[in-house]
Amino acid sequence: MKRINDNIIIALLGVVLGVLVTMVAYKALEPKRKFDGDYNRWRKLNLILQEVERNYVDTIDMDGMTDAAVVAALAKLDPHSVYLPPVELEESETELAGNFEGIGITFNVPNDTAVVISPVQGGPSEKAGLLQGDRIIFVDDKNIAGVKMPQDSMIRLMKGPKGSKVKITVNRDGTLIPFDIIRDKIPVHCVDAAFMIDQTTGYIKLSKFTRTTYKEFSEASKKLMDMGMKRLIFDLRDNTGGYFDQSWKLANEFLEKDDQVVYMEGRHRKREYFDADGRGSMKDIEISVLIDEGTASSSEIFSGAIQDNDRGIIVGRRSFGKGLVQEPINFTDGSGIRLTVSRFYTPSGRCIQKPYDGDYQYDIYERYTNGEMTSADSMKVDTTAVFYTMRGRRVYGGGGIIPDVFVPLDTTKATTFYVNCNRKATAVRFAQTMFDKYRSSLAQIDDFAKLETYLESIDLGKQFLDYAANVDGLKPKAGEWEETAEYLMPQLKALVGRFSKLEDEAFYRFYLPIDDTIQAALKNPSVVEFL
């Protein structure tokens, strides 16, 4: 009986399959509709979307499909030609051109969780202790992770009027950490600090090239020259670039008339040269430029102009390697694209764009794993792309600006206690506690020498050890604090000092003795003849 049933089932399956095959074959006999899928006029893409709209079985999200098609199309180009939805475009333009009221972070939402890209330097989030890579789980008591919340809704939750308070809870390395943040007006300043290191050496830290960069830099440099500056240490580390014209104007301040700053060229853009006019105010100031793997785009244009004209020396590690120029194209719905229209070339003729046919987004990680961060011999150099500076020094293209003086990343100072404190943001949260405790005194200090004396008087080291033990359960092993203190104490002073009237100036001044790149710049001459 079972065999008979099996045979019946098999026979029925055969009938069903036969019907299916017949249906497919029948459809194949219908006259085929053919469309003009002309690639040269983008007709195929338009026709496909039209057919989907007319014939698809379910309701479709045309906005989402259009955005997805644009993103997929641009992904076939270079990594810097991108589509920006309205919220991202607004954030991008705000960061470079204006200010807003909120907590002061930029973030992305991969895998349905907001991930901090970077806290705005000097903003409420950075002062509270948020770090790059933090996953935002709660805004106040509202869960925003894993619930498919739109990005613009997240922004609305985090933005708010100056002076209002919001609780941001993040996941950092598996640990949930709450931060109480007081919203503020977020200025988009680009000069983070400008002060004299000694009687003749000035220091300027520039974080990005915004619409106000030239103005801010001019004001800062004039202040330092009035104080006796003869040499400038110009810090472009982690400067991801911005507006090209601001970089050109800054380079013009240091170069002689007709010295080339950069030239640009693309398939639909004729070669265009940008030269110095000789009217710069800093042509007699020696300059050392600090760069690292986070130095990109417009900051590489400036560095390349200084290096190729033999105007100063470059100190640090190989820069990011972005030699492409984007043009903004905006749409009426608030979205836009940033389309690569040309390459830029340094005065020697090199394009410093690194290859993007491989795993482009993991290049920096590979530099760590390949040992480049700690050894100059491991630095990736394209020896086939050889160029020469104005005085005949050899330089290379195809992968960023190679520094004249290499400074390795020092990994020997990080004790186990230091690493554990860093994972829990113990130092930055401790600084917030110290500000709450000593607010009335700290907020009044506007002189660095007085700030040093004051911080020494409150015994930060002992208070930090008590805080780490009582709040985070972290205690150094025997002898470990002595090894850690030399490196950690300047950081604690820098973090607490930032809450004084000196703000970021205090931070960078305290950090200076343990900053190996600045120390290398101080030890090496800024003039090329001595290299």
Q: What is the pLDDT of residue 110?
A: 61
Q: What is the pLDDT of residue 36?
A: 60
- In this predicted structure, the answer to whether residue 510 has a pLDDT above a threshold of 90 is yes
Q: Write the CB contacts of 301 (distance below 8 Å, at least 6 apart in sequence).
A: 244, 247, 248, 251, 261, 262, 344, 346
Do 108 and 240 fall within a single domain?
A: no
Write down the pTM of the prediction. Answer: 0.80
Do 206 and 330 fall within a single domain?
A: yes
Do 199 and 254 fall within a single domain?
A: yes
Among residues 187, 217, 235, the one where a domain terminates is 187
Do 199 and 279 fall within a single domain?
A: yes
- In this predicted structure, the answer to whether residue 209 has a pLDDT above a threshold of 90 is yes
Do 315 and 400 fall within a single domain?
A: yes
Q: What is the pLDDT of residue 19?
A: 42
- In this predicted structure, the answer to whether residue 456 has a pLDDT above a threshold of 90 is yes
CA distances from residue 6 to 2, 15, 19, 364, 448 in whole angstroms, order as listed = 6, 14, 20, 62, 91
Beta bridge partners of 291: 316
**CATH number of the domain where residue 177 is located:** 2.30.42.10
pLDDT-based confidence at residue 168 (cuts at 50, 70, 90): very high
d(CA 138, CA 157): 10
Q: In this structure, is residue 83 part of a structural domain?
A: no
Among residues 131, 157, 187, the one where a domain terminates is 187
Do 143 and 227 fall within a single domain?
A: no
Number of domains the chain contains: 4
Q: In this structure, is residue 85 part of a structural domain?
A: no
Do 209 and 330 fall within a single domain?
A: yes
Q: In this structure, is residue 518 part of a structural domain?
A: no
Beta bridge partners of 194: 204
Do 396 and 484 fall within a single domain?
A: no
- Both tokens of 346, joined, read 């340094």
Beta bridge partners of 386: 396
- In this predicted structure, the answer to whether residue 286 has a pLDDT above a threshold of 90 is yes
Do 313 and 375 fall within a single domain?
A: yes
Q: In this structure, is residue 16 part of a structural domain?
A: no
- CA torsion angle 198 295 247 278 (round to 10): 50
Q: What is the pLDDT of residue 99?
A: 65
Q: What is the pLDDT of residue 4?
A: 45
- CA torsion angle 332 336 342 343 (round to 10): 160
Pairing mode of beta strands 313-316, 286-291: parallel
Helix axes of 62-74 and 43-55: crossing angle, nearest 10 degrees: 160
Do 356 and 464 fall within a single domain?
A: no
Q: What is the pLDDT of residue 2?
A: 45
d(CA 126, CA 136): 14
Q: In this structure, is residue 94 part of a structural domain?
A: no
pLDDT-based confidence at residue 500 (cuts at 50, 70, 90): confident
**CATH number of the domain where residue 326 is located:** 3.90.226.10
pLDDT-based confidence at residue 35 (cuts at 50, 70, 90): low
Q: What is the pLDDT of residue 383?
A: 85
Provide the mean pLDDT of the chain.
88
Apex CA 284: angle with CA 282 and CA 289, to 5°?
A: 65
Q: Which tens digit of pLDDT belongs to each residue from 511-525?
A: 999 999 999 999 998
Question: Which domain, by its residues, includes 166?
Answer: 99-187
